[in-house]
Each structure stands twice: as C-alpha cells, then as structure tokens.
Structure 1
Amino acid sequence: MGLTSKKVLVLAVLAAVLLFVGTVWLWPRLSRRNWRAVSGRVGLLLAIQMALFASVGLAANQAFGFYASWADLFGQETDQGVVVDHATGGRSGGPLQVLEARRVEGAAGVRPHTGGQVQEVDIAGRTSRIATRAYVYLPPEYFQPRYRTRTFPAAVVLTGYPGTAKALVEKLHFPRTAQRLAKDGRMQPMILVMLRPTVAPPRDTECVDIPRGPQTETFFAKDLPEAVTAHYRVGRKPGSWGIIGDSTGGYCALKLAMHHPDVFAAGAGLSPYYKAPIDATTGDLFQGDKGLRNRADLWWYLKHMPAPDTSLLVTSSKVGESNYKATLRFIDGVKAKGLTRISSIILDSGGHNFNTWRREIPATLEWISGRLDGHGNRS
C-alpha cells in the first residue's frame, strides 16, 4: 500500500487505538517492580507513541502532500528518469507524452468541453536532459469547436519542497478554481502546467542551474515551455506565459520571472522567500561560483541588475508568516526599480499552509490572467 493510501492511515489509527486499549488492559499485570514488568510498561508506552506519531504524520502528509511515496519519504527516489527522443511533427510526438486524462473534480460538467480536463504527462527536457511528471489543466474552451484555432495563455504552477504535483490538483484545487473563475468571467481561459520544483529528487535544487549538476533553471525557462507549446495550443510570443508557486515554488516563480522576462510576463510567489538556502536538502548549489550565487539572490539581483520587464505578485500575512517584513522590503525594492511592476496580497493572519494558499489562489489566478495574452501581447 502506498504512503498516501487511506488504508495505511486507517491501519495506523487502528493500531494506535488497539495499543491504547491493550495498554489499559495489561497495565495491572505489569504493575510489579521487576525488570520484566518495567520493560513491558516502557515497551507499551513507546509503541503507543510511535503509533500516534505515525498516524499524525500520515494525516499531515495526506493533507499537505509532502511526500508521494515511501521511497520519496526515505530519500530513495534518486532516478532522474531517462530521456527518450521522439519524432517531431504533430502533437502525438515530441518531448511531452500524455499518460492519462481525467475530468476536473468538482467542476460543473463531466465532459471536456463543459468541465475541462486534467492530463497527467511526462515531460523530457531536450537541453537540460531532465525528465519529470506533471499535470496539465485544459479549460473547457480548449475542446470547443469555436475555439479550435485559438491559442491560450499558460501558467506554470509549482509546489513547495518536497511537495507533490498531485497536491496542486487535489489539495489546492487549481484546475477547479480556474474553471470556476473563467466560467464566472473573472479570468480568461488558461492552460495550467502543474509540477513540483523537485525535478531531480530527492535534491532540492532551488531552480538553479547547478555546475556539473541538474540544469533546473534551464528546464523551467526553456525546455518546459518548448515542450508544452509543441504539444498544446499555447501562444508562442512573449506575454503568453506566467508562473505561480508556493513557498520554494514561490521563490522559483519570482526568480524565473525576473531572470527570464522574455519567457514569463508575470510571476506570483505565494509565501515566497527571496534567497536560496544552503542546507542538507540542497547540497552545494553553486560550487563556489560567486556570480551564480549572487544571481540566485533576489536582493542582490534587485540592487545590481537592470529592472526586468515583468509583473510580480507576492503574498504574506501579518500574523503567521515569517516572511512578512521581508516581503514588505521586497515590494519597496521592486518599486524603486521602476520598470518591474509589483502587486501583493497581504492577509491579516494565515500560516504557511494549504489553507492560507487556497485563500490566495483565486485572486492570484485573476491577477495573472489579466497580465497574459494567448496571442503573446503583454497587458
């Protein structure tokens, strides 16, 4: 049974309950002061604690989508995938392969032309040689005859670290929210490409081109848009693409929009930070390259590089988020540059979690929709 299976959670909870009942039942027999009784009491208490810890951990993982599998949890997921080159021409080949198509849960209508569709895909980067899985949301209009010649704007949507791409669909409800907002006329129909920034698991690459390592920034800024544009009807000119992310994905979204304004006309960071950390999950990202380290530091980039012609959105909350003061400082820094446009969502309270981001996602989708054009014109 998989890590995210409800059966695993039920078994863990059942084990905790049975251990508690068993402890209460056996405690009188273990009340003596000999070493066997004491060892029995200690063993039962430890077993209950472990069962409770496992139950809470499994419930939290299901709620927040930290790990997708047992191998992911224990750091055993190291295979970066094998890139398979396919014949070009037509939408059946290329670096993007559709594995499965499903309806949008919670959407009004079960058919693609009324409720949209979510496709699970494999994407292989031809330049970066990175392969990863993603989910693509196609709006109902994509399947309607009157839009058959139309191109659509697209937005990359990134999770935090470690995160799972499925959480963007099932926990944060990006497809359902986009479908509802477009139906209500609050945003234009858009294609969403949803994946996690951990494209070289288990390493947290922080969307950096690591010297002699995974070329993650190249994958997101070059390979991913090329693969999606070759397969779907996405606008090909500047102004067609945006990027959204939460936490680590938020940092990536801001950085990629600032580094590549010719690709991303808008970038939204939900609860982002502004400088790549160096820790046990990242390893040495820059291999002593000071220029690469500086470029990944958004504070340094604002101070020393020309203002990028892009639009940025940042979110935080006055109570519950540790990035509140840093976000206000970042807003002031962007405003001082002039050319780059900056917007924000500041909540009175809200922690670093899915519930907070679900409150911010509708406004974020409306914001990014208003700054993209499927024909490639910047708004």
Structure 2
Amino acid sequence: MGLTSRSLLYTVIFVAVVCVGLTLWLWPRLSGRGVLPLLGRLGAIVVTQLTIMSSVLLAVNSANSFYGSWGELIGKYDRSPGEVTQVTENGGASTTPVDAGKGGLVRNTGTEGLDKSDIPQGPKDKVGTLESVRLVARRAGVMEPAFVYLPPQYYQEQYKRQRFPVVIAISGYPGGITNLSHFLKVPKTASDLIVERKMQPTVIVMVRPTIAPPRDTECVDVPGGPQSETYFTKDLPEALKSAYRVGHEASAWGVMGYSSGGTCALELAMRQPGTFPVAGALSADYKIKNDLTTGNLFGDGEEGEKNKREHDLIWRLQNLPAPRVSVLVTSSKEGEKNFKETEKFLKAVKEPMTAAKIILPSGSHNFTTWRREIAPTLEWMGKQMTFPQDVNN
C-alpha cells in the first residue's frame, strides 16, 4: 500500500481502534504483580500509543502531502530538475492611504532576515546581491517585508541605463520570505542561472502571501477587509518602480510562487493580466476557498457568491474570455493532491492564453520537490519577459 493511500490510513486507524479495545479488555488481566504483568501493561501502552500516533501522522501527511512515497519518508528523493513541457503554442505575449514620508516607498532594513538566507557570495557585479526592505503600500495601508535580489548586471557599467524585468516570488502560507531565500534558494538559483546565461538578468522580489498575518488573505481584496490583490497589483509595482531600475511596461513583469503562493500567482495573472502577464505556479490550487485561516474572503449574499466563483480559475476559463497570459504549472503524478485538477486546468486553457507544465513522476508537497522545479521555472519565466525594456532617462 502506498504511503498516502486511503487503504493504509483506514487500516492503521482500524488497528489503533482494535489496540485500544484490546488494552481495555486485557487491562484487568494485566493488573497482577510481577515482571510479566508489568511488561504486558507497558507493551499495551506502547503499542496503543504507536498505532494512535501513526494514524494521526498518516492523516496529516495524507491531507498535506509532505511525503508521497515510502522512499521519500526514509530520505530517498529524486533531486533531478523538472522538465518544462509546452502545453499550448506561444501566442502574443476603498483604501487607507499611508504616508510614504521621507523614507519613500521602499525602506531599507539593513541585514534583517538575511542571516537565514542563502546570499550569493562574491562581488555585486559578479553574482548580484540581496537586500532586506519594507514596502510601503499607500492603497492597501500596510508596510510589508521583502527581500530584493538584484542581478550582477544591475551594477555593471554597460547596463546602468537599462531597466530590468521583475519576478515577484510569493511564499506559501504560513511561511515567510525566508523560506524563499533559504529553503527554496531563489536568489542563489537565480544568480547561478544568470551567471550561466540560462536566464536573462532579472530582479526578483520575495514576499509573503498575506498582508494581515496571522490571517491568510490569499491575495484577495476582502470586502471591508485587507486589500491583498490591490497590494500585489498596484502598491507593490508602484513601490518597486520608485526605487529600482525595473521595467515600466507589463511585458517585463512576472509572478511566481509555491503552494498557496502559487495559487496567488495564477490568480493575480489571470485576474490582472495587465500587471502580470507571466506566472509560474508550483503545486498550486486552482480556486480559493474560505477556511479557518482565511475567514470570509468574499463577502456575503449574491455578491459574495459571485466573488467566490471568479476566484475559481477553471470556472473562469470555462465561462469568461481567457486572458492574454503565459502560465507554467507544476505537479507530480504521485505525491501531489492537485495532479487531476492540474490536468483539468490545462485542458481548459484556450487562446490567447498559453500554458506550459512540469509534471514529475513523483514528488510531494515540500521543498525537496519545489527545489527540483524552481530552476526550470525561473528559466522559463525569463524567456517570457522583455529585456532590456527601455532606457533609464
């Protein structure tokens, strides 16, 4: 039986229930004095606890797909990079204001959080650099942490008048930006790809998916609540354009993420193609739902139901005109719960939208899997965006 199979889970739960029943039935018989009754009581406790804990751990793993196979559980991972497959032919590619003050829309925070990050080692003009900042969002009314990776070309004389393409990288929930820099190794991977000329020089901005922690805002403009979509599609680009030499046209902007961050990336691209015409989604879901961590994201009544439908991406493709965007989605045939939905999503894609995919034979919902997908995803995204875009006058 597979590690994530329901038959294994139900079998272990049945065994746990039987062990509890046997312990209750045998306990009076094991109440005597002596070594054997003592060993019997200890054995009953240990076996019962093991079966109960196994049931709980299997249920948690089944729900979250941390490990997809017995091999992964004992540390045997396939670490080879995924391969991008083009699915469709490429076509044409109320708010509370915040005073930016003297610090502007991007505030440098020194080395905050960088001690846990994989920072490219070497001169800035050879490997690039990583900055820790806070982004001021005047419309959404928040100030959010971010890491900004600047490629080596940003510091080279021949590029001093050029604006660079941008990838917004969104972590999963409840993880933060350190997960992107340390566990997923986004800046290190981007630096290596750029040095090897497998990716064009690109600014990468690492952010979290929520602007109202601990609530999971899922990149949604909540009626009467946090304006996450506004933050990502208006405030964030405004702040970055004010402080960095980044492209001013949409063709230079892309968004990517893993898990709920991947869901955000797809949602933002398909709902706001004029801001993010390129998206890379690692292990994403294809619709946003209310749960205990999100609260009511969509509002009540008919308007709430309409908002909920419009955040179902397969429904959008089946009922609304397709946006002019290019997306890449990833999944695994074994170990990921979203594999069937990924196939359904890809079948629903229609012109002028284009899609590519990375489908691994096996791989669970964890960083070991996403590290196999991050390099080909970044490389693919780099080919979709325009550089150099314009001259910095």
TM range (shorter): 0.7 to 0.9
Report SS of the residue matched to 1:306: coil
Report SS of the residue matched to 1:201: coil
Residue 362 of structure 2: aligned partner:
349
Residue 161 of structure 2: aligned partner:
149
Residue 313 of structure 1: aligned partner:
328
Aligned residue type for 1:302: L
TM-superposed CA distance for 1:374, in Å, is 3.8
Runs of at least 5 residues in structure 1 that lack an aligned partner in the other structure: 1-30, 57-63, 65-81
Q: Does 1:169 align with 2:189?
A: no
Whole-Å separation in 2 of the counterparts to 1:330 and 1:178: 28
Residue 98 of structure 1: aligned partner:
108
Q: Does 1:370 align with 2:370?
A: no
The answer (yes or no) to whether the contact 1:258–1:310 under 8 Å persists in 2 is yes
Residue 294 of structure 1: aligned partner:
309
Identity over aligned pairs, percent: 43
TM-superposed CA distance for 1:279, in Å, is 1.0
Report SS of the residue matched to 1:113: helix
Whole-Å separation in 2 of the counterparts to 1:209 and 1:121: 24
**Segments of 4+ moved more than 3 angstroms:** 101-107, 374-377
1:205-254 CA distances to partner (integer Å, 9 max, x unpaired)? 11110000000001001110110111100000120110001110111100
Whole-Å separation in 2 of the counterparts to 1:344 and 1:201: 31
Report SS of the residue matched to 1:278: coil
TM-superposed CA distance for 1:106, in Å, is 6.1
Whole-Å separation in 1 of the counterparts to 2:195 and 2:140: 37
Of stretches 241-250 and 299-308 in structure 1, the one that deviates more from structure 2 is 299-308
Q: Residues 32, 141 of structure 1: CA spacing in aligned structure 2 closer, same or farther, 3 A cutoff?
A: farther
The answer (yes or no) to whether the contact 2:326–2:354 under 8 Å persists in 1 is yes
Residue 222 of structure 1: aligned partner:
234
The answer (yes or no) to whether the contact 2:119–2:129 under 8 Å persists in 1 is no
The answer (yes or no) to whether the contact 1:236–1:375 under 8 Å persists in 2 is no
Q: Does 1:326 align with 2:335?
A: no
Runs of at least 5 residues in structure 2 that lack an aligned partner in the other structure: 1-31, 58-65, 67-95
Q: Residues 167, 86 of structure 1: CA spacing in aligned structure 2 closer, same or farther, 3 A cutoff?
A: same
Of 275, 280, 283, the match for 2:287: 275
Aligned residue type for 2:369: T
TM-superposed CA distance for 1:83, in Å, is 7.6
Residue 255 of structure 2: aligned partner:
243
Whole-Å separation in 1 of the counterparts to 2:155 and 2:232: 26
Residue 8 of structure 1: aligned partner:
none
Aligned residue type for 2:298: F
Whole-Å separation in 2 of the counterparts to 1:210 and 1:168: 26
The answer (yes or no) to whether the contact 1:237–1:375 under 8 Å persists in 2 is no
TM-superposed CA distance for 1:84, in Å, is 5.3
Of stretches 232-241 and 285-294 in structure 1, the one that deviates more from structure 2 is 285-294
- Mapping 1:58-77, distance limit 5 Å: none
The answer (yes or no) to whether the contact 2:258–2:281 under 8 Å persists in 1 is yes
Whole-Å separation in 1 of the counterparts to 2:241 and 2:214: 28
Aligned residue type for 1:370: K
Whole-Å separation in 2 of the counterparts to 1:304 and 1:368: 27
Aligned residue type for 1:116: G
TM-superposed CA distance for 1:164, in Å, is 1.3
Of stretches 342-351 and 109-118 in structure 1, the one that deviates more from structure 2 is 109-118
The answer (yes or no) to whether the contact 2:127–2:195 under 8 Å persists in 1 is no
TM-superposed CA distance for 1:297, in Å, is 1.1
Residue 85 of structure 1: aligned partner:
99
Q: Residues 164, 87 of structure 1: CA spacing in aligned structure 2 closer, same or farther, 3 A cutoff?
A: closer
TM-superposed CA distance for 1:295, in Å, is 1.3
Of 356, 361, 367, the match for 2:374: 361
Residue 70 of structure 2: aligned partner:
none
1:117-139 CA distances to partner (integer Å, 9 max, x unpaired)? 11111112111112211111111
Whole-Å separation in 1 of the counterparts to 2:287 and 2:106: 31
In angstroms, what is the RMSD of aligned CA positions?
Answer: 2.9
1:76-135 CA distances to partner (integer Å, 9 max, x unpaired)? xxxxxx9852347xxxx421111125698463x422112211111111211111221111
Report SS of the residue matched to 2:277: strand
Report SS of the residue matched to 1:133: strand
1:258-282 CA distances to partner (integer Å, 9 max, x unpaired)? 1111111201110000111211111
TM-superposed CA distance for 1:376, in Å, is 4.6
Whole-Å separation in 2 of the counterparts to 1:259 and 1:224: 16
Q: Residues 279, 86 of structure 1: CA spacing in aligned structure 2 closer, same or farther, 3 A cutoff?
A: closer
Corresponding residue pairs, total: 305
Higher relative contact order (CA closer than 8 Å, sequence separation 6+): 2
- TM-score, normalised by the number of residues in structure 1: 0.74
The answer (yes or no) to whether the contact 1:172–1:358 under 8 Å persists in 2 is yes
Q: Does 1:209 align with 2:221?
A: yes
Aligned residue type for 2:240: V
Report SS of the residue matched to 1:178: helix
